[in-house]
Structure 1
Amino acid sequence: MSYSADKAHAIFSQLPEFEATRLREIVGMAEPYIEITDRYARLVSRLVSFLGHLPPKDDQDRVIRDLLADVFDFLYEGRALILGGKLSVAFPLARRAYESLSLLHLCTVEPKWATKWQAGKQIGNAEVRKALGVHPMGEPEAEMQELYKFFSEAAHPNRSLVPHRFLGEGNEYVLGLIGKPELYFVVDYCSKHLELWHWLAATVSYFYRESIGPADGAYFQEYNECFEQAKPVKKWLVESLPQLRAEAIEIDREGRST
């Protein structure tokens, strides 16, 4: 096809259509993931609504509330990008959610860190991971490092993660979602995104257990049901990865041979 400005403008106008197509394709396969992340989001929102009627007790409480809202917003907005196949765009949001969430966890188990952060101290994620790794109510440092590496590598222009788009080498247009994202990466991202939702719900529910429990007797029943519903979804996502990875490798091999 020869170039013309009119044709260029016409294909640009189709970008929303490309996005809608990818969204339909992925959403149709990801219903269990959508349901459980909706449920976790609704649970956390329920807690936030309760806290809106309860003044904070101290600076630690204020910090937890602010970080809770920060994590929620980034996780909530990130899912639409994941389901739309815009993984490269979603990574910076997920990294921010992860870093705020790990700091949130540390501030819930060690009030001194909340005091430092409230006073304006910059607390790097390496420091957070180290502190949580040695705390009895923390998280294994190796697991946190793995998540940090996943989100951090893709938050920067990494050659292994920035797609080869072959513009002018067989592809005449490569913007937006005209190309189909690899399902392996979408599913892997869904798995980690769900993990962050569970971590958030578990952390804030435990921190506010003595406040929300007496006021909302069904809250922890809902929390437990979320947890049980999430387990098979997480298992399904993780167990899908080897087959999807093999398919992606085969598709790549076929593409290189043509």
Structure 2
Amino acid sequence: MKKIPERLSDMDEVKELRIKELSKMFSPHFGSLSNYQVFIMNLVILLGKHKPVDDRDRTIRNLLADCYDMLDLIASSLKEGKYNVASTLTRRLYEDISLANAFMLNPVLHDRWHSGEEIKNQEVREELDKSELGADIESTRYLYGLLSDLSHPSRVAIMDRFLGEGAEFSLGGYPTPSVYHVAETLVQCLSLVFWLCAATALFYKPLIYKHNPELVKLYKFTAEHAQKINSQLHKELDRLLSEGNITFIEKKYPPRKKGSPKRKP
């Protein structure tokens, strides 16, 4: 049993133990996220040598960088067991990616956004549904609903810490995190970054093939590894859910995501 902290440094020690524990448990999955970060880093290096051709290109570069920032924070939050923080960031990651993909498909939609107009999520989903290079609207609606459910302070999103009911301290890494929720958020995040890099690699395909074709090999390796790892973890969610004895209260959506946003066949 962890002793009650007397100073902040005591909490830091517990945090480091939690990071080591979860990093080891989900090592292949965090490794897959790191692979994607390496791909994004190399793509950004390539883009840094070429000026944007227009405002839309500039915006997509900015959204790509914003997604990278989200990935850093999602990974570090999950390693600490803070899936509540990671879920909120994952919703933002979804919004960035869906917006970027919609802009790739429809320059007019981008121009409206760039002028300061607010673009509703429903319109973005409808735009993605129109194209073979977008995503199925039922899939994106479901995922957005699930992420929203966990990113707001609803009953299901606020974990029970049992302070004064068996737990004498309930901050930081002291509470035992839900392995199910950590795994579920990892599945969502890997699915989203797969979507991001697939769409971005296609959008910048001419530039990549002309100036750094080795990026194609890096992308294929990263994507194939992620699909394998994520599929394995996705299959374990039912077991983790039952072992965690989790009761979903006030939950509008089933406790499992259906899968990644479905690209058009």
Q: 2:12 aligned to 16, 31, 43, which one? A: 16
Q: Deviations over 1:206-239 (max 9, x none)?
A: 0000011111121111111112111210111111
Contact 2:15 2:80 in 1 (8 A): yes
Unaligned runs of 5+ in 1: 1-6, 252-258
Provide the residue aligned with 2:256 in structure 1: none
- State which drifts further: 43-52 or 126-135: 126-135
Counterpart-to-counterpart distance in 2, 1:25 and 1:15: 15
Q: 2:150 aligned to 147, 154, 169, which one? A: 154
TM-score by length of 1: 0.90
Contact 2:4 2:169 in 1 (8 A): no
Provide the residue aligned with 1:255 in structure 2: none
Q: 1:75 aligned to 71, 74, 79, which one? A: 71
Contact 2:5 2:11 in 1 (8 A): no
Q: Cα distance, 1:250 vs. partner?
A: 8.4
Counterpart-to-counterpart distance in 2, 1:84 and 1:98: 22
Q: Deviations over 1:127-163 (max 9, x none)?
A: 2112212223210111111221222111111111211
Q: Decide which structure has greater helix share.
A: 1
Counterpart-to-counterpart distance in 1, 2:21 and 2:185: 16
Matched, 1:171 2:150: no
Distance 1:168 1:119, change over 3 A: same
Counterpart-to-counterpart distance in 1, 2:4 and 2:225: 47
Q: 2:216 aligned to 214, 220, 240, which one? A: 220
Counterpart-to-counterpart distance in 1, 2:235 and 2:31: 19
Provide the residue aligned with 1:238 in structure 2: 234
Q: Cα distance, 1:54 vs. partner?
A: 0.3
Distance 1:242 1:136, change over 3 A: same
Pairing 1:99-138 to 2, within 5 Å after superposition: 99-138=95-134
Contact 1:41 1:197 in 2 (8 A): no
Contact 1:94 1:151 in 2 (8 A): yes
Counterpart-to-counterpart distance in 2, 1:250 and 1:109: 40
Counterpart-to-counterpart distance in 1, 2:4 and 2:20: 25
Matched, 1:192 2:196: no
Q: Cα distance, 1:179 vs. partner?
A: 1.0
RMSD of aligned Cα (Å): 1.8
Contact 1:67 1:104 in 2 (8 A): yes
1:88 corresponds to which letter in structure 2? N
Provide the residue aligned with 2:260 in structure 1: none
Distance 1:8 1:82, change over 3 A: closer
Report % sequence identity.
Answer: 32
- State which drifts further: 124-133 or 98-107: 124-133
Q: 1:180 aligned to 176, 179, 191, which one? A: 176
Tell me the number of residue pairs that the alignment of Structure 1 and Structure 2 aligns: 245
